[in-house]
Amino acid sequence: MMEGKIGTPEKPLSDLGRETYLSWWTQRVIDYIRIHKDEPFTLQEMGKITGMNEEDTQFTLEQMGMVKFSNNIPHLCVDEEFLNGLYKKVGKPGKRVLRENIHWIPFKLRWESNCISNY
Confidence of residue 114 (pLDDT cuts 50, 70, 90): low
What average pLDDT does the structure give for the chain? 84
Instruction: Give dist(CA 29, CA 82) in Å, integer.
Output: 13
What is this structure's pTM? 0.73
What is residue 3's predicted lDDT score, i.e. its pLDDT?
A: 64
What is residue 93's predicted lDDT score, i.e. its pLDDT?
A: 65
What is residue 9's predicted lDDT score, i.e. its pLDDT?
A: 87
What is residue 96's predicted lDDT score, i.e. its pLDDT?
A: 73
Question: How far is CA 9 from its chain centroid?
Answer: 11
- State whether residue 74 is helix, strand or coil: strand
- State whether residue 61 is helix, strand or coil: helix
Average pLDDT in the 41-54 region?
90
Which one has a higher pLDDT value, 19 or 7?
19
Average pLDDT in the 56-76 region?
91
Active-site residue list? 10
Q: Which domains are delineated in the chain? A: 15-115 (1.10.10.10)
Question: How far is CA 107 from its chain centroid?
Answer: 23
Instruction: Give dist(CA 114, CA 90) in Å, integer.
Output: 54
Q: Which residues of 16-54 are buried (b: 16+ CB within 10 A; e: fewer)?
A: eeeeebbbbbbbbbbbbbeeeeeeeeeeeebbeebbbee
